[in-house]
Chain A
Amino acid sequence: MTGRLTRRFSTLAVSSAEQLLYGVSPHPLHCGLGLTIGGGLVYPEVNFTLPPMNIDRQTWTEVLAHYEQMASEILRRAAALATPGIVLEFKLLPAMTEQPEWGAEITALLKRQMRAYHEKHHLPCALRVTPTDMRDQLKPPQLRSGEAWEQLRLSLNLCAEAGADILSIESVGGKEVHDQALMYGDFQGIVFALGVLAPRDMSWLWGQIGDICDQHPGVVPGGDSACGFANTTMQLAHQKMLPEVLAAVVRAMSAVRSLAAFEQCAVGPSKDCAYEGPVLKSITGHPISMEGKSASCAHFSPLGNIAAGMCDLWSNESVQNVRLLSGNAPEVFTELLTYDCRLMNAAAASNGGALQMRDWMTVSDQWLSPQAAVLSPEATMKIATAIVNADTPYHRTVAAGRAAVEVLNHGTEAGKLHLSRKEQQWLMRIDEALDTLPAGEETLIDAMDAQYESFYDKSSYGLHRIAVGA
């Protein structure tokens, strides 16, 4: 890693909940082909993928044809609706990262089409490219070396060369422990994964991504997502496999590991599936992408409206290239997102309209789910404040957890948030678990050895065993 100057956020970039609005960020991002994100307007971020098909050398021509079609139809629909700007996200499938030149070929194809629309229709646009983090192939995962990392590094480099405007990733460091801890409801293990392991990997990985962006002028380091952690929990809660209150607390705590990208180099927009985005925006002032009701094509969330309240890009997460009545799904979702954004932007154009619209979006969801409760602007500020007031990633993670529990307890005590008996028991259990965590991370690391030592590779996190007697 180069001697990059890192940042440490000890104050908030957004000083009050009233100022935490959609479309506006303290540090707007100029990127791509004439696009400014966070400068006053919300834009669609369209994400798209292949229908069920094999990806190999025999089908490669067909794969390319799908991406040609998806890009041209998305951009055509955006131009027809006079969309003021758009981001396309190309999320590489595993085979496209394993063979880095494949991902780069599609990146170039997409950028060529975007350039043509920009020249002909003056459509401001940017291409976000997100390679697959495949570093968890081995057990335990080798995060800082080996074939998977080399493929990922090459993929990031080649995609940057091929025309990516924004580089992102949904990184997996710490997930190998988090998955296990989550399934057994081991709160200490969850905190260990989110507050000790994940931030260490994030700092290392985003240092690398920052170096790659430095070598490719015009390519910006966007941001990460706690998808593998908090969205996994959200989906398992949806299936009644895990408590919703746990999903809410995990979401709040996950903001700390996602913040590590910004401490290194990220300038936004953070990833659409990072529902921890508002906390990142309030701390860093950088723009965020979010998804909600218009991403129901990809997955369930209890956050459909509230997620839009503070976004700068509004995304559909992912949709397959399948035929619907009005066209193929990616262009249909381009239209859907465009109208969502058009309404938000029209409201923002009237005095106080953005605040009113945001508050409507908030109250429509806020107390119907613990996960929505921790996403309100007030809860966001409370969690963000707790994070910046703490020192280390571990302490910040614990502080974010406590703040989330306070939000949920306050909601139940006020009779606004209704929890089942089982959910209440879990909330108490989490509250107690937060109180029994060790004061320092070294003690926690030692305590976790017996249970998780075989799940993770210490050197991948810069942790090294100290010889007995040393």
Chain B
Amino acid sequence: MVRSEELYDAILNGDAKKAHAVTQATLAAGAVPMDLITGTMVPAMDEVGRLFETEEYFVPELLLAGRAMKSAMELLRPLMATSGEKLSTRVVIGTVKGDMHDIGKNLVASMLEGSGFEVFDLGADVSPDKFVAAVEQHTPQVVCLSALLTVTMPAMKTTIDVLKAAGLRTRVKILIGGAPVTGQYAKEIGADGYSESASGAVSLVRQIVAGA
């Protein structure tokens, strides 16, 4: 498996145009899509994650790298679909009913996308029924619930209860997050996990996918 240094650097530098152009040229030269992903793109995003964890990168650098990866993926996805290869873990994400805050949720969604997951962002103030409909429609492996207000935290439990009542709870792992949320609260309401940061949420989704 050959690593494309040009593509690696383009992702690391958040240069979407270059990532797209290099991928196009590399494919024309006969590269195999899955090799590009596993040999170059995933290692590049891992390095970006490391730079973010060590505070060398802020979120913009992280997201621009994710955007560069996506621009390369746009070229690879159709080829993979043709060959029957699958990559994506699907994640449904939203801020729960009654809560209008969405920047934390947006950040998690963007970082998940940048990490190669397929994300269905339902927005803010999302009713339990909308989560149910999204799970039925998109068949995700993971559902992420966000809340910033103490008074909207109970809507997380309501959402989990409604998913349970709809017979969908066992099909998905549920992760929760937001300023007032704790790991203890996650246990109390029957969620599968909690993260206090956006990057932690990405790691958690990765762990869940790896353990599935």
A interface residue numbers (CB < 8 A to B): 49-55, 93-95, 132, 134, 136-137, 139, 179-180, 183-186, 232, 236, 239-243, 320, 422, 426
Contacts and interface: CB of A to CB of B under 8 A. Distances in A.
B110 interface: yes
B163 to A, nearest CB: 17
B38 interface: no
Contact of B58 (A93, A136, A243): A243
Nearest to B64: A184
A241 B58 contact: yes
Contacts of A185: 58-61, 64
Most buried by A among B106, B107, B124, B151: B151
28 contacts: A49-B151, A51-B150, A51-B151, A52-B151, A52-B153, A54-B158, A55-B98, A93-B98, A94-B99, A132-B100, A179-B103, A180-B106, A183-B60, A183-B63, A183-B103, A183-B106, A183-B107, A185-B58, A185-B59, A185-B61, A185-B64, A239-B197, A242-B58, A242-B59, A242-B60, A243-B58, A422-B56, A422-B58
A49 B150 contact: yes
Contacts of B151: 49-55, 93
Interface in B66-83: 67
Nearest to A423: B58
Nearest to B149: A93
B36 to A, nearest CB: 24
B56 A236 contact: no
Interface of B: 55-56, 58-61, 63-64, 67, 98-100, 102-103, 106-107, 110, 123-125, 149-155, 158, 180, 197-198
Which DSSP category, helix, strand, loop or mixed, fits chain B's interface? helix
A237 B113 CA distance: 22
Most buried by B among A132, A180, A240, A426: A240
Contact of B124 (A50, A53, A55, A137): A137
Contacts of A54: 151, 154-155, 158
A241 B150 contact: no
A183 B67 CA distance: 12
A2 to B, nearest CB: 29
A317 to B, nearest CB: 13
B61 to A, nearest CB: 7
B152 to A, nearest CB: 8
Contacts of A239: 197
Contacts of A240: 55, 58
Contact of A53 (B58, B154, B197): B154
A373 B77 CA distance: 48
Given A52-B151, A243-B58, A137 B198 contact: no
A422 B58 CA distance: 9
Most buried by A among B67, B103, B107, B110: B103
B63 A241 contact: no
Contacts of B56: 422
Contacts of A137: 100, 123-125
A179 B106 contact: yes
Nearest to A421: B56
Nearest to A54: B154
Contacts of A49: 150-151
Most buried by A among B56, B64, B67, B150: B150
Contacts of B110: 183
Nearest to A239: B197
Given A95-B98, A136-B124, 7 more contacts: A49-B151, A55-B98, A136-B100, A137-B124, A236-B103, A240-B55, A241-B59
